[in-house]
Structure 1
Amino acid sequence: MAALLGTIPAAHSQQAASRPDFHQWATTPPMGWNSWDCYGPTVTEAEVKANADYMARNLKSSGWEYVVVDIRWYVGNDTAHGYNEKNPDWNLDEYGRFVPAVNRFPSAAGGKGFKPLADYLHSKGLKFGIHIMRGVPVVAVQRRLPILGTKLTAADIYSKEGQARWLHDMYTVKAGPGAQEYYDSLFKLYAAWGLDFVKVDDLSEPYHKPEVEMIRRAIDKSGRRIVFSTSPGETPIAEATHVAAHANMWRTVGDFWDSWEQLKEHFAVCARWASHIRPGAFPDADMLPLGRLGIRAERGDDRMTRFTPDEQRTLMTLWSIFRSPLMFGGDLPSNDAATLALITNPRLLAVNQRSTHNRQLFRRGDLVAWTADDPATGDKFLALFNAQDQELAPASEAAWASGPITRQTSAKTAEVDLAGATKLYLTVRDGGDGTAWDHADWLNPILLNSDGKPVPLTTRPWRRATAGWGKPAVNKSVSGGPLLVAGKAYETGIGTHANSIIEYDLPAGTTRLSTTVGLDNAAAGQNTGGTLDFLVFTKSPFRPAPADSVRVPVALQELGATAGASVQDLWTGRQIGKFTTEFAPYVRRHGAALYRISIPKK
């Protein structure tokens, strides 16, 4: 297998003699379901079983096998669309290790932990996974709970340095006496439960190398084959060799939702990471936000995915040609026939599971091509993408522009002349480093008319509103909290997220807009992203739309087909025909196509 698909990083091979080769535990990208996108921190045992039952009936035969319980399964009273950090009902054992909340996971009663649930999944031929946070529980430190097999306590191994800013359940485990023993005790417990997969959060960005290494050693000592996933990203690419020598998969992005802007950013990310794909060590483009999402998730409302059918095909095609792990985020029992067909296409999944030498062939503006090899036949796989968008009007055409706003920028005030305008577009754009944590607040927006009478914009309905993540909200931030900028609270305003356009019809006689803008504190406290531009337009912020479909020409010589090739459409299975020098199909805007290129044997 390794001879066909590539080689394990040298750092791993040097250690292979002294530990099991964990890369053999997941030689192909893991495929499964994760509870985060639909249930956030509140999933119950009944919901996990319902999704597992669906997987066993409808997906297992296609290779889907992991069922992963995401964050905070140890809190009995967590909240939908957020976290309960005020009075969490912790559940942990005498050694400071979190255990399942029995009110949510009844089979865990009597100290059984997750073993009964794991047994249920194993009986269906599936595998069981959980999410954990890096570190040692704050509550275990406060209670000075002992570390199994030592005379030390949790208070002897912790550091407040590096604590996650977005959730405060854990402290960093500092290297030294008791640290490795603590992680060993965790995975001894998880192995006893029958764990097959662990997703460790707050580990990738910033990259916590000592804890990555401790977790690797603890898994190897546990005696159980537990696939190791790090989260969230982007993992520093400078640590690619190290992470591949310790984990089976690692995140390349922050949390990914059903946003075209975020999906489009993946083209550059995947191209950056393609050379690091190895058997048993996979860059992870994050979960598939498909099907029914947001039932009780941290973000958004109960909905079917916002991705269009074309965008869904782009998502599945890119993840497959990139060989990303495939973790479905929606509620499986709510799937419609189209979603089920999308994720069980056998030709598509074969590309994800067995292709080699995966790489971007070219990027010409927003027309993108990827290719890979089929080691079984010698054929080539070809994925084509049309990521073209309606071009945005330049900032120079805006009625007002903030200039760059960063995590170090205080709020800015705008006074915008609207005399004669009938339309208003509040626009937020990425400031140049991607849209991660671009939480934008329009604060105290006031319209003034010719008689000077102020009208709060928040009292008027918008015609339409978009956000690159979540959805715009009135009088609260996009994440549902209060409007806070540079430490100051504002009662009125609009919270949104780049890239965003909020369109209003202006009442007759409007002369002016007065507002303050800034980066919401929820984002300002992070260590990445949070760079954006606010712009106000009185005319459409778009150029005329491009064609719905365009040709994406590929010279067959670029694929090594100097004497022509036969082409098969892998989405439909249809044989298209033979081509001599060029293959140039039409691809829909925001859409994708996937082909098998069969080259005649010499």
Structure 2
Amino acid sequence: MLHSTKRLLTALLLTSSAAFAQKAPVADFHAWAPTPPMGWNSWDCYGPTVTETEVKANADYMAQHLKSSGWEYVVVDIRWYVSNDKAHGYNEKDPDFNIDQYGRFVPAVNRFPSAAGGKGFKPLGDYLHAKGLKFGIHIMRGVPVVAVQRKLAILGSKATAADIYSKEGQAAWLHDMYTVVAGRPGAQEYYDSLFKLYASWGLDFVKIDDLSEPYHAPEIEMIRRAIDKSGRKIVLSMSPGETPLANAKHAQQHANMWRTVGDFWDSWEQLKEHFEVCNRWNPYRQPGAWPDADMLPMGRLGIRAERGDDRMTRFTRDEQYTLMTLWSIFRSPLMFGGDLPSNDPFTLSLLTNKAVLNVLNTSTNNRQLFRRNDLVAWTADDPKTGAKYLAVFNAQDQELLPPSAAAWNSGTISRQTPGQSKALDVDLKGARTLYLNVRDGGDGSAWDHANWLAPILTGNGKSVDLTTVPWKAASAGWGKTTVGKSVSGGELKVGGKTYAHGIGTHANSIIEYEVPAGMTRLTGSVGLDQAGAVQNTGGTMQFLVFTQSPYQPAPADSAQVRVSLRELGLTGTCTVRDLWSGQELAPVTGEFAPYVRRHGAKLYRIAKK
């Protein structure tokens, strides 16, 4: 890499070893985030439509209730530069972009009135700084398409936006930007001009989208140089994920945090996947360079979001303890996604437990101790006292029957499947119940947008559109099962064809019906919705139809997680404190074996007596 001597020394000092990951950062941008950043982001509750009033309301809450616990960043997420964006998607038909003469997006004044008169985000940044908080924004990688079309000048260069772009690599899911081609005259100057503007606004944090999956190393390096030249300590967060493991060291050398997953929502299936994800990324943590398990979809979500309706999180209380415990022992950045003023006392208690946040901020030698099926333990050291932290999890589920037990099985469907769909034809003779089940195809369920298309029940010479039959229960691994729309809120579209009737859902999901009297057959088709097919990784799924319950008998509500004290490096009698409750438990010798509720977690501090 063509960097200065300082850059070369930094690259040599940074390694991927777990042992080195606990050492102090080198004296560069890593020092700007010595502990995992903690803040609020507008995405989960307001999507691309957040307003200045809403940002200030969340900032006011943070300053009053959370700042004393270490929460400090307030981040305005995507498309703050569009005057007429919409909830539950993006307006790409006639977006009203706000852009300056140098091809740099500026805030939409109808949403951020203080930006009027060319002030940009500086007044909002000043408002946050006056409260002792820090200011962040989201941007997309690249140069605006509209700047290229207008051949807008680049500050500090004779080139225009039309001289530095390529259509190759353009994001498939949002078409605001083109790739900036590294090495072309004006390319570095364009990124320099961006961060010169952002520094003038008082920016402290930037989340850059479409950067990590696929991984755009040349633009990452230009961004790193531009931030360093800006003269302001702007923490860099790369999104979305999963960042390729092959690029882990490069990410360490250029960013303060980078995503380990795609967008994470209030889905137990997605949360359970994080046990494997966090273990996989654990060796690549170091102070100032944090693998990011994504936002905390807790509290009130979906007010005007891209995903789902206005709701309190779908996570149970046990699952919320699991989320906060795993993120803390893994030392992920914490970015809260809910509307803070709508918090209830329980949510606030999760965010302000100082003993738990101390694990996040100060623990060392963090690692998974074991995974025994779905009973998981993580541990870490208290560097001040030599005590051990122990997190135990019960990730047991009510397991599903194998696909061989289904009345019908689609096999794997992906975007490589012809038409991205298969015909559905199921014999229901004698069936009283019907279960439509979609399962992840084995590559993770991030983009498994699944559609049941034109489902028709027939029998006794009659036919019934299944979409007119009310279901008894319906779940979705992400989002909400919906009649007549895809799970992302769009048309039911598969393989380029739009369907008027059907059901949109997402793996892993189950829809349960009582079979109407006389109905003996179900026909239609199933497929990968277009919204999943166009994503970077696409979707891979399996559709199953059961005429009996697809569940195996449920495990017990609680399970005992047995941990030998020797596994923690402790001997003799030890004291135990429950960090969530603050209670001192009875001393233990030899083994500690707490009971943990299904989908729940416990976090302890264990010390030699």
- TM above 0.5, yes or no, is yes
Matched, 1:421 2:431: yes
Shift of residue 20, structure 1, vs aligned partner:
6.4
Q: Distance in 2 between matches of 1:518 and 1:224?
A: 49
Shift of residue 508, structure 1, vs aligned partner:
1.4
Partner of 1:376: 384
Q: Deviations over 1:480-519 (max 9, x none)?
A: 1111111111111111000000001111111100020111
Partner of 1:597: 606
Paired letter, 2:104: R
Matched, 1:483 2:484: no
Matched, 1:497 2:506: yes
Paired letter, 1:122: H
Matched, 1:290 2:298: yes
509 and 14 in structure 1: CA distance in 2 versus 1, 3 angstrom threshold:
closer
Partner of 2:161: 154
Matches within 5 A, 1:318-329: 318-329=326-337
Shift of residue 566, structure 1, vs aligned partner:
1.5
- Gap regions ≥5 residues in structure 2: 1-7, 16-25
Matches within 5 A, 1:349-368: 349-368=357-376
Q: Deviations over 1:537-567 (max 9, x none)?
A: 0000101111000100001100001324211
Q: Distance in 1 between matches of 2:461 and 2:362?
A: 68
- Could you tell me whether the CA contact under 8 Å between 1:9 and 1:245 is conserved in 2? no
Partner of 2:480: 471
519 and 14 in structure 1: CA distance in 2 versus 1, 3 angstrom threshold:
closer
Q: Distance in 1 between matches of 2:310 and 2:568?
A: 44
Paired letter, 1:413: A
The correspondence for 1:201, drawn from 206, 209, 214, is: 209
Q: Deviations over 1:122-161 (max 9, x none)?
A: 0000000000000000000000000001110000000000
Q: Deviations over 1:88-110 (max 9, x none)?
A: 11001000000000000000000
Q: Distance in 1 between matches of 2:245 and 2:606?
A: 32
Partner of 1:116: 123
Partner of 1:577: 586
Q: Deviations over 1:238-290 (max 9, x none)?
A: 11111011000000000000000000000000000011110000000000000
- Could you tell me whether the CA contact under 8 Å between 1:565 and 1:580 is conserved in 2? yes
Partner of 2:469: 460
Shift of residue 401, structure 1, vs aligned partner:
0.3
Shift of residue 529, structure 1, vs aligned partner:
4.4
Matches within 5 A, 1:45-124: 45-124=52-131
Q: Distance in 2 between matches of 1:62 and 1:287?
A: 18
Partner of 2:254: 246
Q: Distance in 2 between matches of 1:268 and 1:14?
A: 24
Matched, 1:520 2:529: yes
Larger CA deviation: 19-28 vs 548-557: 19-28
Matched, 1:446 2:456: yes
Matched, 1:405 2:419: no
Paired letter, 1:79: K
- Could you tell me whether the CA contact under 8 Å between 1:470 and 1:497 is conserved in 2? yes
Q: Distance in 1 between matches of 2:28 and 2:469?
A: 61
Paired letter, 1:388: Q
Larger CA deviation: 221-230 vs 471-480: 471-480
Three-state SS of the structure 1 residue aligned to 2:366 is: strand
Partner of 1:4: none
- Could you tell me whether the CA contact under 8 Å between 1:565 and 1:598 is conserved in 2? yes
Q: Distance in 2 between matches of 1:125 and 1:254?
A: 31
Paired letter, 1:187: F
Three-state SS of the structure 2 residue aligned to 1:139 is: helix
- Could you tell me whether the CA contact under 8 Å between 2:448 and 2:528 is conserved in 1? yes
Q: Distance in 2 between matches of 1:95 and 1:165?
A: 25
Three-state SS of the structure 2 residue aligned to 1:307 is: coil
TM-score using structure 1 length: 0.97
Matched, 1:534 2:543: yes
Partner of 2:20: none
- Could you tell me whether the CA contact under 8 Å between 1:435 and 1:499 is conserved in 2? yes
Paired letter, 2:387: D
Number of positions where the alignment pairs a residue of Structure 1 with one of Structure 2: 589
Partner of 1:261: 269
Shift of residue 86, structure 1, vs aligned partner:
0.5
Matches within 5 A, 1:539-558: 539-558=548-567
Following TM superposition, where does structure 1 have runs of at least 4 consecutive aligned residues deviating by more than 4 angstroms? Answer: none
Three-state SS of the structure 2 residue aligned to 1:363 is: strand
Q: Distance in 2 between matches of 1:578 and 1:475?
A: 58
Larger CA deviation: 65-74 vs 564-573: 564-573
218 and 378 in structure 1: CA distance in 2 versus 1, 3 angstrom threshold:
same
- Could you tell me whether the CA contact under 8 Å between 1:566 and 1:599 is conserved in 2? yes
Q: Deviations over 1:455-501 (max 9, x none)?
A: 11011111110000101111111111111111111111111000000
Q: Distance in 2 between matches of 1:475 and 1:546?
A: 36
Q: Distance in 2 between matches of 1:385 and 1:461?
A: 36
Paired letter, 2:269: E
Shift of residue 414, structure 1, vs aligned partner:
1.7
Shift of residue 577, structure 1, vs aligned partner:
2.2
Paired letter, 1:11: A
- Could you tell me whether the CA contact under 8 Å between 2:295 and 2:335 is conserved in 1? yes
Partner of 2:21: none
Q: Distance in 1 between matches of 2:309 and 2:433?
A: 28
The correspondence for 1:271, drawn from 264, 279, 282, is: 279
Larger CA deviation: 561-570 vs 73-82: 561-570
- Could you tell me whether the CA contact under 8 Å between 1:68 and 1:130 is conserved in 2? yes
The correspondence for 2:574, drawn from 557, 565, 575, is: 565
Paired letter, 1:572: S
Shift of residue 377, structure 1, vs aligned partner:
1.1
- Could you tell me whether the CA contact under 8 Å between 1:184 and 1:222 is conserved in 2? yes
Q: Distance in 2 between matches of 1:381 and 1:467?
A: 34
Shift of residue 198, structure 1, vs aligned partner:
0.2
Q: Distance in 2 between matches of 1:380 and 1:210?
A: 42
Paired letter, 1:278: Q
Q: Distance in 1 between matches of 2:378 and 2:538?
A: 27
- Could you tell me whether the CA contact under 8 Å between 1:435 and 1:529 is conserved in 2? no
Shift of residue 407, structure 1, vs aligned partner:
1.2
- Gap regions ≥5 residues in structure 1: 1-7
- Could you tell me whether the CA contact under 8 Å between 1:434 and 1:529 is conserved in 2? no
- Could you tell me whether the CA contact under 8 Å between 1:418 and 1:538 is conserved in 2? yes
- Could you tell me whether the CA contact under 8 Å between 1:420 and 1:509 is conserved in 2? no
Shift of residue 599, structure 1, vs aligned partner:
2.4
Paired letter, 1:421: A
After superposition, the CA RMSD in angstroms is 1.3
Partner of 1:35: 42
518 and 231 in structure 1: CA distance in 2 versus 1, 3 angstrom threshold:
same
461 and 12 in structure 1: CA distance in 2 versus 1, 3 angstrom threshold:
farther
Three-state SS of the structure 2 residue aligned to 1:86 is: coil
Q: Distance in 1 between matches of 2:179 and 2:337?
A: 28
Q: Distance in 1 between matches of 2:14 and 2:464?
A: 69
Paired letter, 1:307: F
Three-state SS of the structure 2 residue aligned to 1:71 is: coil
